[in-house]
Structure 1
Amino acid sequence: MHTESKSTKLNELQAMAICGNDISSSCLYVSALTILYAGQFAWISLLVVAGVLFLFQRIYGEVVGALPLNGGAYNALLNTTSKQMASVAACLTILSYMATAVISANEAMHYLHNLIPMLPLSIATIALLAIFMGLALYGIGESAIVAVVIFITHLAALSLLVIVGSFYLLTHGIEVFQANWQLPVASGGIMTALFLGFSAAMLGISGFESSANFVEEQAAGVFRKTLRNMWMVVSFFNPAITLLALCIIPLAQVGAHKESLLAFLGETAGGRWLGLIISVDAVLVLSGAVLTSFVGVTGLIERITLDRILPNFFLVRNKRGVNYRIVIGFFILCVSVLFATQGDLGALAGVYTFSFLAVMALFGLGNLLLKIKRAKLPRPVKAHPMAVLIAVVCVSAAFWGNALLNPSSLFVFFQYLVPSLGFIFLMLNRGRILRILLYSIDYLYRPVRHYVLQSSLYLRKMLHKINSQEFVFFTKGDDVAVLNTVLQYVQNNEKTGRLKIVTVMNPGQAFNEPLRHDLEVLDRAYPEVKIEYLELVGTFGPELIEEYSKKWDIPKNFMFIGSPGDRFPYRLSELGGVRLII
């Protein structure tokens, strides 16, 4: 999502607030959930989760530092694997955002319903989604202001809860915690309890992936700070509040108050006034998580649309520079899911759980592939390969643990995922599908030739429009093996029959005759791709890319380069969306 002025970037507090409302709202449900599975050891499970999140700081920092573009896991896999694999990550991320928006809005209205009993839940949920749709349509700058207010209020409420809870312990002692600690562990032993608690507690870091989906809207250096700040918030508040709950509330009472454990904790430790503050804060911060979903999904869908996975229909902007069709479409999707589930969102929680964990695992995989395939690409930080493997294994274990805890939710997850992947498959292969439709029309409708010819002409125009898009590869004089890899990538991933091979030469530099000869060989080897070789005099950089993007009318994200070395004077983000394919 872009504002009207592209020079305006989000500062640290604004960016942190947008993604922080999502991840910091986790304590409202993850404390009770972890206690139900890990009992008195819940706070230890949450500390382990904090350790895993610490590893993901560098994992995300390395990938996004090397490829500072919107898209998160999709962007990481797009530049290291194929468009098909990257599309799977995009699907999972969109599902995660959809489930987050619907569940957060519905849970916020449940908290408000406790304060205003006559509130109609379904209508209020739709109204809340509509409010944040309107805010998203107004622009990310205005959205950030609201997010900052919500975030600061939430941190103040949590801090107040910790302070009052700590004072309660000083005056009442820790007899409750001692009694809870002496209770027998559920069947399976301590290790099983810790594992199941860890699996449930991993939901407490949902939202960590959001910052990577709107990194282009953040000022320089802000992204890594958002990762650090999110880790600090989760590492302190989630274990601290859970430990306070175990010190103040008997384990037997947790299940009865699992929907609003923090409000009950506040009421027990400080009185009705604190419980009311926590309930109001829950409404606000869960609403902020809805805003995070709108901002994150807009940045992601814009990116995959630019890469021709979705139709250009979604790229139209309003006067404030917002992709309003993406925002409105996401709102419609959320409302349709709310009606389809008839307000019973228990099953949708499984979609949220498994899609989020899968996205985290795929991002770790993208980091490993970046190390292997893009080793020379400059990056501000590097995650140790063993740390990446440990993080991926931990997330995979959490996925398995949640599948053991909620096997029916895993089935629902696949019910949502398979149709989504099917739609993406259709979009990626729409060229082939159009050819099949052409053949079918010619075969089945010969008796009505007139109508067939009209339909055929229309489809051929669509196919021609797709295949006529020209692509560019800037080469430094690569050998025939490298250029052959480029042709294979274009054939496998892009629907085009035209490719410019361009080399940028210094003034007075001799023509590259061996390269001309290699291209003549490749031209015969790939008759379906029209190869045009050009030699330009100048200096390769953002200005040259901008000049020839306009001159040739070729978008920058349809221009490719090989991986630049350490001496390359520009960051990838300065090239305006030029993609790496080698």
Structure 2
Amino acid sequence: MWIAVSVLNPLIAFLAICIIPIAEVGEHQNSFLSYIGSLTGGSWLATIVSINAVTVLSGAVLTSFVGVNGLIKRMTLDRILPNYFLKENKRGSTYRILILFFLLCCSVLLVTKGKLGPLAAVYALSFLTVMASFALGNILLKLRRSRLPRPEYAKPGAVLIALFAIIVALYGNVKANPQYLVTFLQYFVPSVLLILAMLMRKDIMHFVVNILESVSKGYKRYTVTRQRFLNRSLKKLYEQNFVFFSKGDDISTLNKVMMYLHENEVTNKMKIVTILDKDKQPDPKFLSDFDTLDRAYPEVDMEYITMVGEFTPELVDQLSKEWSIPKNFMFISSSGERFSYRVDELGGVRLIL
């Protein structure tokens, strides 16, 4: 891809300079390549270029639908977005996600009135923001997950240079067209607020329950009904079971896991699973420390389970089906270089420490 872009893009620019005056470039920016084709080869070449452009754009749109569908589904499974989006049709397609994304795309088209300038600017801001998140994520991996094995390593200096270049590009786009930033924020801010509301839903629901309890007695029937609904919703959230696969030798890691659950998840049930080799028993000191940790979190029902065997994707799949616990509610800590599997091979198990 890099070779193709490095060769084709400069050649196309050089070809354009050779064929038409620079002043005419702006006059045909909506169909520039087809215009060059009509000048060099005639209408037949312009038609071929146009068909090729439509095909490429159709592929890009299809790719965006597939990517957004996978992203929102994963975020919903991790309880970052409402479960409303997980509804599937008979063919197993999460059609609500696809319909929502289609409506969002149509709304962007209507807001920008179909003009290429605003559309390109909104796309550029979105794309650069995603690229910046990649750079920030890479930096966080280096700081928080340095032991996590991965096939490619980027040097810190290269990541910082890339992040600086992205920031410069963002500033340039905003400086050139400040009005397009407003359009971008009209979609970005509500999305962030929705995600924050889902992450803080436990506190929000408790707050609403307290508000309803303090409402005047004149609205007692209404408030009691709503209060019962919220309490049932909270109870359903708390009953979700989580699993953490522990090496069974470090109680401080388990304490960090419990702190993570308290801050980021809504549950009061936790299974701690340790996979042992044959004829091996858990460390008695660890069991004693586990009892102490269990007493430190009285609101959480902690269950320690030992199993003989090997930690494999097949075992994860077996336990997920046996316990009816989705794999995205199963956690592991950072694995070392000797770990036989990549995180993505575990089918959605989350890495939290």
Is the shorter-chain TM-score for this pair beyond 0.5, marking a shared fold? yes
Aligned-residue CA RMSD (Å): 2.0
Q: Which residue of 2 aligns with 1:300?
A: 71
Q: 1:377 to 1:360 in 2, by over 3 A?
A: same
CA deviation digits over 1:166-210, x for unaligned, max 9? xxxxxxxxxxxxxxxxxxxxxxxxxxxxxxxxxxxxxxxxxxxxx
Local SS of the residue matching 2:243: strand
Q: Which residue of 1 aligns with 2:280?
A: 509
* CA contact 2:248–2:282 (8 Å) conserved in 1: no
Q: Which residue of 2 aligns with 1:310?
A: 81
Output aligned runs, 1:393-472, within 5 Å. Answer: 393-472=164-243
Local SS of the residue matching 2:339: coil
TM-score by length of 1: 0.58
Q: 1:535 to 1:542 in 2, by over 3 A?
A: same
CA distance in 2, matches of 1:541, 1:285: 41
Which is further off, 371-380 or 570-579?
Answer: 371-380
1:389 to 157, 160, 165: 160
Q: Which residue of 2 aligns with 1:335?
A: 106
1:552 to 323, 328, 333: 323
Deviation for aligned residue 1:348: 4.1
Residue 258 (structure 1) aligned with residue 33 (structure 2): no
* CA contact 2:128–2:169 (8 Å) conserved in 1: yes
CA distance in 1, matches of 2:113, 2:45: 33
Deviation for aligned residue 1:312: 2.2
Q: Which residue of 1 aligns with 2:144?
A: 373
* CA contact 1:350–1:412 (8 Å) conserved in 2: no
Deviation for aligned residue 1:472: 1.0
CA distance in 2, matches of 1:340, 1:399: 21
* CA contact 1:348–1:412 (8 Å) conserved in 2: no
Residue 238 (structure 1) aligned with residue 13 (structure 2): no
Deviation for aligned residue 1:462: 0.6
CA deviation digits over 1:464-501, x for unaligned, max 9? 11121111111112423222211111111111122122
Name the % identity.
53
Deviation for aligned residue 1:440: 1.8
Deviation for aligned residue 1:406: 1.6
Residue 571 (structure 1) aligned with residue 314 (structure 2): no
CA distance in 1, matches of 2:111, 2:249: 54
Q: Which residue of 1 aligns with 2:253?
A: 482
The one-letter amino acid of 1:414's match is: L
Output aligned runs, 1:24-43, within 5 Å. Answer: none
Q: Which runs of 5+ in 1 are unaligned?
A: 1-229
TM-score by length of 2: 0.93
CA distance in 2, matches of 1:511, 1:482: 16
Q: 1:459 to 1:245 in 2, by over 3 A?
A: same
CA deviation digits over 1:485-529, x for unaligned, max 9? 111111111111221222122232123221122222222333333
Structure 1 or 2: larger helix share?
1
CA deviation digits over 1:310-336, x for unaligned, max 9? 122222333333222211221122223
Deviation for aligned residue 1:445: 4.5
* CA contact 2:215–2:223 (8 Å) conserved in 1: no
Local SS of the residue matching 1:444: coil
Q: Which residue of 1 aligns with 2:51?
A: 280
* CA contact 1:294–1:330 (8 Å) conserved in 2: yes
Output aligned runs, 1:127-138, within 5 Å. Answer: none
1:289 to 51, 60, 80: 60
CA distance in 2, matches of 1:579, 1:469: 16
What is the number of residues matched between the two proteins? 353
Q: Which residue of 2 aligns with 1:247?
A: 18
Q: Which runs of 5+ in 2 are unaligned?
A: none
Deviation for aligned residue 1:278: 1.7
CA distance in 1, matches of 2:71, 2:23: 43
The one-letter amino acid of 1:480's match is: I
CA distance in 2, matches of 1:311, 1:420: 12
Residue 364 (structure 1) aligned with residue 135 (structure 2): yes
Local SS of the residue matching 1:504: strand
CA distance in 2, matches of 1:332, 1:252: 38
* CA contact 1:445–1:452 (8 Å) conserved in 2: no
Deviation for aligned residue 1:346: 4.1
Deviation for aligned residue 1:340: 4.2
Which is further off, 490-499 or 542-551?
Answer: 542-551
* CA contact 1:349–1:409 (8 Å) conserved in 2: no
CA distance in 1, matches of 2:116, 2:220: 51
The one-letter amino acid of 1:476's match is: K
CA deviation digits over 1:76-108, x for unaligned, max 9? xxxxxxxxxxxxxxxxxxxxxxxxxxxxxxxxx
The one-letter amino acid of 1:533's match is: Y
2:268 to 472, 494, 497: 497
The one-letter amino acid of 1:566's match is: E
* CA contact 2:109–2:119 (8 Å) conserved in 1: no
CA distance in 1, matches of 2:186, 2:29: 27
The one-letter amino acid of 2:269's match is: R
**Structure with higher RCO (Cα < 8 A, 6+ apart):** 1
